[in-house]
A = this chain, B = another copy of it.
């Protein structure tokens, strides 16, 4: 994996990540193919939109179908047929969301499968091995994410552990004889500015190919999260890609770009689509509102996605109300087209050194 910052505008950056599976212009957004597919849509639809990279969750693939099966298929690219770039998340965040169903200690995490109750153990080393079986372009280490209302003591415990596990993961990856894959670092530290600063510095010394800000949008106040991203992003090595994990809303992505973040992922655009909420150039649209039943307009007059080119709000509202599963895909394609356009327009604005004015203009149309 290679990365180059090509333009800057304040803290905002426009660059290129290059993997064995293609070039990713940054800032970039990764749709979540959590279980190995982006929910409700087809890979060819994602290719047609032009997405260069997706996120897959290693924990989910470990539980089902199991990394041995994926490895026997030749890794995630061959298994899924998605031949562009893939980043695998480790599953650290999923433990946070499975409250009480896991035991975490300094050496790793023990947990039960929610599918069959089977017992599993993750360590920093085993999660590297798991991801080597999946063979993504970028892998994330096992981390410990404290909830948004955690005490400073808990944040320190989770943050120290995350740093320690990162060192172990990096060491283990170096020892393996397999083709090296990019391992990013993860910075925890909750909403404590001094801890974020400390972990950013100590992790940065490991000279990893990229760094991620974890533990944002985990229950803290949105404004506090924004401040932490503002503070942390510029502390991460400037020549490495900076990844803000699991965040989020269009306005949060713009805040992240302004702070110098290069890479984003979130289930939000696809999940909200499945809930009938669409992102448009003039704001959010709730397709469940009865006014849309008779509306011949596309979801967004300014959108050129396949859904907007072909379908009316009225027809989509009818399918949604009728419970037709196919419509969830049509709506997801639209929201993903919106997110791709958002980061692509942001990138052009950075290249033209007009990011702030573009962002203001975008947000004024939007709210």
A residues sitting closer than 8 Å to B (CB atoms) are 35-44, 60, 64-65, 69, 72-73, 79-81, 293-294, 296, 306, 310-312, 314-315, 317-319, 321-322, 324-330
Shortest distance between the CB of A270 and any CB in chain B (Å): 11
Distance between Cα atoms of A310 and B44 in the complex (Å): 10
- Least CB distance from A209 to B in Å reads 29
The 14 listed contacts between A and B (C-beta, < 8 Å) are: A35-B324, A36-B322, A39-B324, A39-B325, A39-B326, A40-B325, A43-B310, A64-B322, A65-B314, A65-B321, A69-B293, A73-B312, A73-B314, A79-B315
Question: A326 to B293, Cβ gap below 8 A?
Answer: no
Q: Is the interface of A mostly helix, strand, loop or mixed?
A: helix
Q: Is the CB of B81 within 8 A of A310?
A: yes
- Copies of chain A in the complex: 2
Known: A42-B330, A79-B318. 16 other contacts (CB 8 A): A35-B322, A36-B318, A37-B326, A37-B327, A39-B326, A44-B306, A65-B293, A65-B314, A65-B317, A69-B294, A69-B314, A79-B312, A81-B311, A81-B315, A325-B329, A329-B329
- A37 CA / B322 CA spacing, docked (Å): 10
- Roughly how many angstroms separate A293 CA and B72 CA in the complex, as a whole number? 11
The residue in chain B whose Cβ has the minimal distance to the Cβ of A307 is: B42
For A73, what are the chain B residues with a Cβ–Cβ distance below 8 Å?
Answer: 296, 312, 314-315
Whether the Cβ atoms of A40 and B326 lie closer than 8 Å is yes
CA distance A41 to B324 in the complex (A): 9
Which of A311, A319, A324 counts the most B-chain CB atoms under 10 A from its CB? A324
What B residues does A40 contact at CB under 8 A?
324-326
Complex CA gap A125/B174 in Å reads 78
Give the complex CA separation of A69 and B73 in angstroms.
49
Q: Is the CB of A64 within 8 A of B321?
A: yes
By beta carbon, the residue of chain B nearest A315 is B79
CB neighbours (8 Å) of A321 from chain B are: 64-65
CA distance A36 to B324 in the complex (A): 9
Residues of B within 8 A of A65 (CB): 293, 314, 317-318, 321
Q: B residues within 8 A CB of A69?
A: 293-294, 314, 318
Report the bound CA distance from A330 to B60 in whole Å.
21
Leading 5 A-B pairs by shortest Cβ distance: A35-B322, A65-B318, A40-B325, A40-B326, A37-B324
Nearest neighbor of A63 in chain B, beta-carbon distance: B322
Q: Once bound together, how far apart are the Cα atoms of A324 and B36, in whole Å?
A: 9
> Which residues on the B side are within 8 Å of A35 (C-beta)?
318-319, 322, 324
Q: Which residues of B contact A312 (CB under 8 A)?
A: 73, 79
